[in-house]
Structures are given as C-alpha cells and as structure tokens.
Amino acid sequence: MKLSSWIFFVCVPILANAQQAPNAIKRAQLRTPTVATIPQPGDLLTLPQAVEQAVRQNYQLQINRSQEEIARNNYTKGNAGYLPTLTGNATSNGGLQSLRQTFLDGIRPPLRATGIFNRTSNLGVNLNYVVFNGYARSATYTQLQQLVQISTVNTRANVEATIASIATGYYDVVRQLQRLIAFAQALDISRERLELARANYEVGTRSKVDFLSAQVDYNTDSAALISQEQALRNAKIVLNTLLVRDPLTEFSVRDTIVARSDLQLAPLQQSLTTNNPLLAAAVLNRTLADVNVRLANAQQLPLITAQTGYNYQFIDNQGGFGVRTGRTSAITYNVQATIPIFNGYNLKRQIQNARVNTIIAQTQEADQRLQLQSALAQTYQTYQNSIRLLNLEVQNNQLANQNVDIAYDRYRIGNSTFVEFRDVQRNAINAQTRLIEAEFNAKAAEIELLRLSSTITQELAM
C-alpha cells in the first residue's frame, strides 16, 4: 500500500507535466512578439520617409547645394571676360577764399574780397574691353562650365552616399530588433525550462543542481536581452543622428530585411561606367586639367585691350585770376597691345606644369575607374556569398528549432541532461542570430552594389 501510494504521488506530477510540457516550446514561441507586434514607442518610420528626411536636412548636402549654387552663379559670360566693363567717375574740388592784395605799381587800388568760391568738377564714363587675350575667355568659360558639372556630380555622390548610410542604418535597427526578438524567445524557453526544473525539484524527481543551472541560464539569457535592448537603442541613436534630429527621438519600424537575389554583375558594371558620380567627377577633372593647359598657352599670345571714355569738366573761379569759368568735354580712346617676350622662363614652367597636371588627372581617372570596378567586383562576390549563406542559415534555423523541440521533450521526460538541452538551446540561438546577420549582410552588400552602380536613388527612395 505504501509502495503504490509512493508511485501515485511521484507519477501524478510527472503526468501533469507530461500533459502541459509537450507544447512548452510552442507556447514560448507564441508568447514571443514579432517585428510586426512588438511594442515600440514613437511613430512608424519607413525607409522612404527616412531617406527623404535625410536628403532634405543633411548638413553636408546643404553645403554641397550651396557650393553648386555658387558655381552656377559664377558660370556667366561676364565672369569669363566676354563683356566689357563700364565705369563712371565724378570729382568736384572747391573752396572758399578770402583775399587782401596790394599792387607794386601803385596804380590799382588794394583788392579785398571775402567768400570767394572756387570749384573744379569732372564727370566721365570709361569703357574697357579685352579685344583678344589668346583665347583665354573661351577656356575660362569652359572651365566655369566644368566647375558647375563637378559640383553637381559631387552633390549627387553625397546624396547617394547619404541614402546608402540611411538604408544601412535603418536595416541595422531592424536587425537589432530581430535579435531582440530572438533573445526574448530564448528567454521564454529558459523560463519554461526553469518552471519545469523547479516543479521537478519540488517533487524530488530532479536534483537541485538542475534547478540552479536552469536559474543561472535564465539569468544569463535575461542579461543578454538587456544588452540587446541597449544595442537597439544605440542603433536608433545612430539613425536619428543621420536624420539630423534629436538622437533620443523614439520611432518604430515594421519592415523586415528582405535581400534581393536577382542582381547581376554585367548590368551593374555598365551602370557604374555610365552613371557613377565619382567616376564622372574624375572625367571632369581631367577635362578641367586640359582647360588649364589652354589657359597657360593663352599667356604666350598677345593681349589687346581697348579703352574709351567721355569726360566733361567745368570750372567756376570767383577769385578773378586766370579762367573765370570754363566748360570742357572730351572723348578719349586707347588701344593697347601687350606681347610677352621673356619673363624668366616662368611661362614655360607654368605650361609644363599644366601638362603634367593633365597626366596626373588621366592617371587619377584610370585609378578611380579601377578602384570602383574592383570595389564592385568584391562587393558582388560578398553579395553572392551572403545570399548562399542566407539560404543555408534559413535551413539551419529550421533544423535548430526542431532540435530544440526534440531536446526539450527529451529533457522533460529525463532522457537528457540540462547540459545537453542548454547546448541545443545555445545552438538554436546562434543559428537564429546567424540567420539575422546573414540577412543583414546580404542587404548591406545589395545597398553597396546599388550605390556603386548609382542606381540606389531609383531603387530605395525618392
């Protein structure tokens, strides 16, 4: 009778656990929030909204746009020297005098006068025009045009870099959120295990070591969850900084990371060659170096300038000496030709340096092209490997989750130790973390490919 009673009291808790525990993992998974359901403070922020705000408010882009505006303002025929300059001048000199004079001949009476006003005034306009300056005007005008184009492509390059940074930062927030979900799910499984270990310990079917180990593992997972919450906050601070707003601004995300798998190298290479702003800037800099050679050569040719003017002068002299009143007008002109003959070989040195700079610009263009092509090839290899790893990690994650279910059932009925179950659980956490990292790495490689090929604006925003 005593033996049967003992069997009854031992088996009842085990049977009770047997009825509740088989679905413990599923209950933990059901209780764990997803990206779509996890409570997040703040308004929803989508990737297009983030990109639009960053492109509008980014400080560096504001500077680039202002520099571009300056370059456009400078691109005028007047700034290149095609138009004449017209100046006007006006001068007026005068004074009030008092005089007292006696004469040596004794014939004329002494002269006394006060408040005598004398004035001499000049009015004129002058026109200056460069007739010929060795074709430097056309070279300068081309130079100003090139500077406008360079400032435009620099702005575009920074816009694309900003979009890439925003997209990467946004998906980093999603990544950290998904890691938080994974750690929350691991914590729920550890909680189920802790409850089971406590119940088994209380009825005497498991040792206290098993219960304490479950408590330690639960605390470890709790600490990991707290650390991940901090990582999520840090990712949001980084994104807020990129958005040029208060770093502590709260916002929520709902997007998941979905990496494309259809990007092909050949179209990306073609787009890089024709659209990449960094390569376009290198080409423009080479053209600008050629223009500087033209400007240096222009100094060898004569400089012909023409000047003409109209001047009007009037004199009022109340002192009684010389001219009492006078009115004079004149039209003047001057044509001057300056021919460089010798200046200590400095002109020759400047031309040689300008030609060397063209070689440097050509080398820089070739180097920029090679570096961009190399970066594209390396990034594409990373992208392909990331896609393959992503497919493997999807399978590994599914297998690891199934393994956790099996391991929990074996642990529940006593066919495995807590060490074995913890190893399986840790492998599942690692598998899920690797899957999240694989998704993010594939997306990051995709974003970099879009940036290098200069298609990121069309693909991700605006």
pLDDT tens per residue, range 128-164: 999 999 899 999 999 999 999 999 999 999 999 999 9
Measured over the CA atoms of residue 336, residue 342, residue 344 and residue 348, the dihedral's sign is positive
Q: pLDDT tens across 403-434, in order?
A: 777 877 776 777 767 677 777 778 888 888 89
**355, part of any domain:** yes
Any idea which residue has 């990206």 for tokens?
35
Query: Residues of 77-97 as b/e, b for ≥16 C-beta within 10 angstroms?
Result: eeebbeeeeeeeeeeeeeeee
CA 191 vs. chain centroid, Å, equals 45
Q: Quote the pLDDT of residue 8.
A: 33
pTM across the whole model:
0.82
**91, part of any domain:** no
Regions of the chain where pLDDT drops below 70: 1-38, 318-324, 411, 416, 418, 461-462
Name the residue among 237, 273, 238, 228 with its Cα closest to residue 433.
Answer: 228
**12, part of any domain:** no
Report the alpha-carbon angle 193-233-179, nearest 5. 40
- The two structure tokens encoding residue 447: 């974003």
Q: Quote the pLDDT of residue 11.
A: 39
Using alpha carbons, list the distances in angstroms from residue 400 to 133, 277, 387, 392, 396.
79, 45, 20, 12, 6
Name the residue among 132, 125, 140 with its Cα closest to residue 74.
Answer: 140
**444, part of any domain:** yes
**306, part of any domain:** no
| Domain of residue 256, CATH code | 1.20.1600.10
Q: Please state, in angstroms and rounded to a whole number, the distance separating the CA atoms of residues 256 and 173.
A: 10
- How many domains in the chain? 1
Residue 243 main-chain phi, psi, to 5 deg? -85, 0
**207, part of any domain:** yes
Q: Quote the pLDDT of residue 195.
A: 85
Cα-Cα-Cα-Cα dihedral of 271, 273, 274, 280, to 10°? 130
Q: Quote the pLDDT of residue 323.
A: 62
Q: pLDDT tens across 304-315, in order?
A: 999 999 999 887
Which range of residues forms the domain containing residue 71? 23-81+143-300+344-460
* Cβ-Cβ contacts under 8 Å for 316 (sequence gap 6 or more): 94, 117, 118, 119, 120, 324, 325
Q: Quote the pLDDT of residue 411.
A: 67
Query: Residue 105, class by beta-carbon neighbours within 10 Å (0-12 exposed, 13-18 middle, 19+ buried)?
Result: exposed
**105, part of any domain:** no
Q: Quote the pLDDT of residue 304.
A: 94
Q: Quote the pLDDT of residue 1.
A: 37
**406, part of any domain:** yes
Q: What is the CA radius of gyration of the chain?
A: 42
Q: Quote the pLDDT of residue 373.
A: 97
